[in-house]
Amino acid sequence: MTTVLLLLAGLTLLLVGGASLVRGASGIAEAHGISPLVVGLTVVAFGTSAPELVISVMGALDGETDIAFGNIAGSNLANLGLVLGTAALIAPIAIEGQIIRRELPLLLLATTTLMIMTLDSQLKGFDPILDRSDGLVLLLLFGIFVYIMIMDFFRQVEDPLLATIASLSPQLGTTSRAWMLILGGIFFLGLGGELTITHGVKLAVILNVSTTIIGMAVIAIGTSLPELVTSIIAAMRKEADLCVGNVIGSNIFNILLVLPISAMIYPLSIPEHGTTDIIATLLFAAVLIPVFIMRGQIMSRTVGGVFLGAYLLYIYLRITGT
């Protein structure tokens, strides 16, 4: 019981630390005249992915690469199945064509690239691993992604994903308060990461399951709670672009920012069934395109229920090992 409570405490500290870091860093940036666009694409993108990044980096440094990878793979699966499925159950989601034409293909490209990286090692007879060269390639793709959104901004093209990032940029008062929030955020992220890794491993031992499962089924859902809450609120307010942009943006950041930074610091070994998890994420994302095209760019409650059910079934099969 103590292990579970401390794990939950760690997840809570990660979420509080990430939010605090975003607010503080945004305040400092705005005080120095940095544009909201730059703040959104750097500070907010980094801060909202901070819980996943901390878990991945600390897990890798502690030798718990399974829990690090499981957190990212599980977070992306949870975003597509749990978050999007739940939001569609609340209210059907109507999508702008631009998301189908560009953001979703970009997510598919990022996920496919990651899958090829893992399969390449396996086909050569080596244990699958994400090394520094792989991280560099993924970071290059992230740079292209940021460049495209900046060009949209200057051309004054409305981009739902860019609007989502901008909506997450907080307004803050004094600079001194901003620095306090930054320091507090860093402290909470460090403490929360240590608690989550330590007691996540202990919980895996107690339940006699792999740390990958704990990363996917427990920690990933915990670090995806901000996306879940944001998407539910967006669905209730009929703000479909914010809902879908939140999910797609988070997944892109996880693959093109969090994973490569972790791999650049310490190469990540891909756990058993890790490639299967990547393929599952790719299938979830790929199915969205025909769903939106065939149904007039609307994700109905029925489809949302199917997505949620498929996610829960996949997690159940991973936990039971069937």
Q: How confident is the model at residue 162 (pLDDT cuts 50, 70, 90)?
A: low
pLDDT of 213 > 60? The answer is yes
Q: pLDDT digits over 76-88, tens only?
A: 998 899 888 888 8
Looking at residues 140-153, what average pLDDT do you find? 79
**Domain extent listing, the chain:** 2-320
Max intra-chain CA distance, the chain: 56
Q: pLDDT digits over 236-291, tens only?
A: 777 666 677 777 878 888 899 888 888 888 888 888 788 889 999 999 988 887 77
Give pLDDT, residue 159: 54
Q: How confident is the model at residue 17 (pLDDT cuts 50, 70, 90)?
A: confident
The two beta strands, 298-299 and 268-269, are unpaired
- Asked if residues 59 and 65 have their Cβ atoms less than 8 Å apart, the reply is yes
Q: How far is Cα 55 from Cα 71, in angstroms, rounded to an integer?
A: 7
Express as a percent the part of the chain with pLDDT over 70. 73
Give pLDDT, residue 111: 93
The mean predicted confidence, pLDDT, of the chain is: 76
pLDDT of 22 > 60? The answer is yes
Q: How confident is the model at residue 119 (pLDDT cuts 50, 70, 90)?
A: confident
How many Cα atoms sit within 13 Å of 322 on the Cβ side?
A: 6
3-state SS assignment for residue 299: strand
- Under CATH, which architecture does the 2-320 domain have? Up-down Bundle (1.20)
Give pLDDT, residue 52: 78
Q: How far is Cα 202 from Cα 205, in angstroms, rounded to an integer?
A: 5
Q: How confident is the model at residue 21 (pLDDT cuts 50, 70, 90)?
A: low
Q: Which two tokens stand for residue 122?
A: 């396996």
Q: pLDDT digits over 232-250, tens only?
A: 766 777 766 667 777 787 8
Instruction: Look up the pTM and report it.
Output: 0.78
Q: pLDDT digits over 37-52, tens only?
A: 455 555 555 666 677 7
- Asked if residues 215 and 43 have their Cβ atoms less than 8 Å apart, the reply is no
Angle between helices 160-167 and 240-253 (to 10 degrees): 90
Q: What share of the chain is helix, strand, coil (3-state, %, to 5)?
A: 80, 0, 15
Looking at residues 291-297, what average pLDDT do you find? 67
How many Cα atoms sit within 13 Å of 307 on the Cβ side?
A: 28
Q: Which long-range contacts (CB under 8 A, 24 or more apart) does 139-144 make?
A: 139/256, 139/257, 139/260, 139/261, 139/264, 141/109, 141/110, 141/113, 141/256, 142/252, 142/253, 142/256, 142/257, 142/260
Angle between helices 301-320 and 274-294 (to 10 degrees): 170
What are the phi and psi torsion angles at 300 (to 5°)? -75, 170
